[in-house]
Amino acid sequence: MTETTHHTVRKALAALCLAACACAAVPAHAQSLQVLHWWTSDSERKAVDLIARRLGEQQVGWRDSMVPSGSGVGAGIVLRSRMLAKDAPEVAQLNAIVVRDWARLNLLLELDTVAAAGHWNKLLLPTVASTIEYDGHVYAAPLGIHRINTLFYNRKLLQRLGLPVPATWKEFERVAAKLQRAGIVPLAQSSEPWQVATLFETMVLAEGADLYRGLFVRRDAAAYADRRLAAALLRLRGVKRWMGRPIQERMWPDSLQELAGQRAAMMVMGDWAKGELLSKGQAVDVDFGCAAAPDTGRYHLYNVDTLSMVGTRPEARPAQEKLAALALSPAVQADYNRIKGSIPVLRQPAFAKMDACARASWKLFNSGAEAQVPSLVHRMSTDETVRDAIVTEVHRFFLDDSIPVADTQRRLGTIARTFIKTK
């Protein structure tokens, strides 16, 4: 077990105890659902509270089982242990690949009736519809779509220094050098494995969507030998000089705080960071702005947040179906996504309730399959084991400058070849 995995497991076990405590709360409603999720920051909390409140209006209680683990690594471990211990929650926050894995094991409630009654096939963006399906059945209720390749910048800071928002990595280098001379950290970043890997996947995308899909969707051997992969790895290592020292392993809201507090100027992160900035009272296009991560303007690197209903307790079904239907109600879609920073999963969302970042994100996502690129790190593109192994390898490369790029490239290729691809 790697040190990183050790760390994650330790955190997950601590969370398991925490979850056990959280479940002890007595629900005020006759029916209630225990929901396992990893939404822990202020804005995530507010988004959860909104759904819980709306569910309460339908006489169903929400029992919170939160596992504090950015991107859900710990939550995944806790869910697996609890499934094995026959102590599963009724609802779990999952991402696409994981929905498929649990559905294959026949552990999720099929939501076909809810989907048919709510005309989900007409309501949902087609990519979202296929994300929640396995073997012709619906296994999750989608909440929102996040754009991962987002560059957040402190607008006032860049304006004060007369600096442009970099659209390319070349421009980024120029802007970063000026910021550093002015005593500002150019790029806020944590060394947490998933956060490093999130930055890395945007850098791979910057080298070409064909390369990205070859590596993380099709897992082509040729893509792993491509010198653009080496370029992305070297870029990841190269931008370390623009991060504050030491590069700490911290939660993403802590890095964001640097941006909000004008100590750092930019941050590459999924747009859940927008939700968090809004919850701190910052305003889009006043205090901060969002642009595409450098060299990725044409693409929407995405993930979809969904809730799956665990099918082990038949008596929970009516309440589970209520929650699934609620997720798609226009009011929840508009209000939840505004708080969360994501965009509605709907073909016809309430544009008037969306800010400029959200509108741009929705428009690009909806422009067609060519623009849509599924996130590796946020479990949209390939098997969980491969995802975990790649994240660990990239993290090691990031931390240890003595590892030759060719070694990492070779190892990544081996990972992609070794694990059998499941569909």
Query: Where does this chain bind ligand GAL (CB under 6 A)?
Result: 38-39, 44, 70-72, 146, 270, 272, 303, 305, 378
When the beta carbons of 37 and 411 are compared against ligand GAL, the nearer one is: 37
Task: Please report how close the Cβ of residue 410 comes to ligand GAL at its closest, in angstroms.
Answer: 28
When the beta carbons of 133 and 305 are compared against ligand GAL, the nearer one is: 305
Task: Please report how close the Cβ of residue 289 comes to ligand GAL at its closest, in angstroms.
Answer: 20
When the beta carbons of 22 and 165 are compared against ligand GAL, the nearer one is: 22
Q: Look up tokens 């690594």; give the residue.
A: 73
Tell me the three state secondary structure of residue 150.
Answer: strand
**What DSSP element (H or E) covers 173?**
helix 169-181
Contact criterion met (CB below 8 Å) for 82 and 36: yes
When the beta carbons of 176 and 377 are compared against ligand GAL, the nearer one is: 377
Task: Please report how close the Cβ of residue 279 comes to ligand GAL at its closest, in angstroms.
Answer: 13
Task: Please report how close the Cβ of residue 142 comes to ligand GAL at its closest, in angstroms.
Answer: 11
Task: Please report how close the Cβ of residue 399 comes to ligand GAL at its closest, in angstroms.
Answer: 21
**Cα–Cα distances in angstroms (integers) from residue 198 to residues 214, 337, 378, in the given order:** 17, 21, 8
Supply the Cα-derived Rg of the chain in whole angstroms.
21
When the beta carbons of 282 and 303 are compared against ligand GAL, the nearer one is: 303
Angstrom distance (rounded) from CA 363 to CA 347: 10
When the beta carbons of 340 and 411 are compared against ligand GAL, the nearer one is: 340
- Which residues have a Cβ under 8 Å from the Cβ of 85 and sit 6 or more positions away? none
Task: Please report how close the Cβ of residue 38 comes to ligand GAL at its closest, in angstroms.
Answer: 6
Contact criterion met (CB below 8 Å) for 194 and 76: no
* DSSP codes of every residue in 368-410: -TTTEEE-TTTTSSS-HHHHHHHHHHHHHHHH-TTS-HHHHHH
Show the CA angle centred on residue 39, arms to residues 120 and 199, nearest 5°. Answer: 95
When the beta carbons of 172 and 194 are compared against ligand GAL, the nearer one is: 194
When the beta carbons of 175 and 267 are compared against ligand GAL, the nearer one is: 267
When the beta carbons of 22 and 167 are compared against ligand GAL, the nearer one is: 22
Task: Please report how close the Cβ of residue 368 comes to ligand GAL at its closest, in angstroms.
Answer: 23
When the beta carbons of 39 and 212 are compared against ligand GAL, the nearer one is: 39
Terminal-to-terminal C-alpha distance of the chain: 27
**Dihedral sign, CA of 295, 228, 364, 262?**
negative
Angstrom distance (rounded) from CA 190 to CA 187: 10
Task: Please report how close the Cβ of residue 184 comes to ligand GAL at its closest, in angstroms.
Answer: 25
Task: Please report how close the Cβ of residue 261 comes to ligand GAL at its closest, in angstroms.
Answer: 20
Task: Please report how close the Cβ of residue 272 comes to ligand GAL at its closest, in angstroms.
Answer: 4
Tell me the three state secondary structure of residue 60.
Answer: strand
SS (H, E, C) 321-355: HHHHHHHCCHHHHHHHHHHHCCECCECCCCHHHCC
Question: Crossing angle for the helix pair 227-238 and 193-206, nearest 10 degrees?
Answer: 130
When the beta carbons of 72 and 214 are compared against ligand GAL, the nearer one is: 72
Task: Please report how close the Cβ of residue 304 comes to ligand GAL at its closest, in angstroms.
Answer: 8
Tell me which residue of 149, 391, 187 sits closest to 270, measured CA to CA: 149
**What DSSP element (H or E) covers 265?**
strand 264-268
